Amino acid sequence: MASPASHGSCLCGNVSFTAASEPLAVLMCYCIHCSKGAGGPGQVIAKMAHGDVNVVSGHDFITRCELQDTSSGEMKEKFFCSGCGCTLWTVPAGVKGKFVMVRGALLSIWTNLKPSTEIFVKYRPTWVGAIEGASQWQEARH
């Protein structure tokens, strides 16, 4: 897990942020949005308490869009860097104000983040195996 005050940044480095605590959960998501956003089978997500993610620099580069066509059927907000297009985090409507779903690979400690849960496994490619020891959810839960 992350140590307090880990840091993260987008691909171009215009946006940097800190994570004041360890993730509440680490997920591997195979939903259509995460797969398309990653350009691969899915994304590692660090579920963080809303107040624990603080932007250090690049506020002016953060752009927001609303996505309605989600696998959960629930609207979510996607925040990304306008400089490089990198997704920073998403906020599903059901967790707004509580949690921020940070893209794990943006965190300095991401190689130590082993997902304990895989979500939307119904979309996981047949050539990708299950993560050993991880819970397998066909869809998602908050």
**121 within domain boundaries:** yes
Q: Is the pLDDT of residue 48 over 80?
A: yes
Task: Give the model confidence (pLDDT) of 59-88 as tens digits.
Answer: 999 999 887 766 666 778 999 999 999 999
Position 142 in a domain: no
For residue 24, give the CATH number of its domain.
2.170.150.70
**Does residue 141 surpass a pLDDT of 70?**
no
Residue 67 lies in a domain: yes
**The overall pTM is greater than 0.95:** no
Note down the domain range covering 29: 6-136
Residue 64 falls inside a structural domain: yes
| Domains in the chain, number | 1
- Identify the pLDDT of residue 94: 79
Q: Tell me if 14 sits within 8 A of 83, measured CB to CB.
A: yes
Residue 1 counted as domain residue: no
Q: Please give the pLDDT value at position 112.
A: 87
Rounded Cα distance between 98 and 100, Å, is: 7
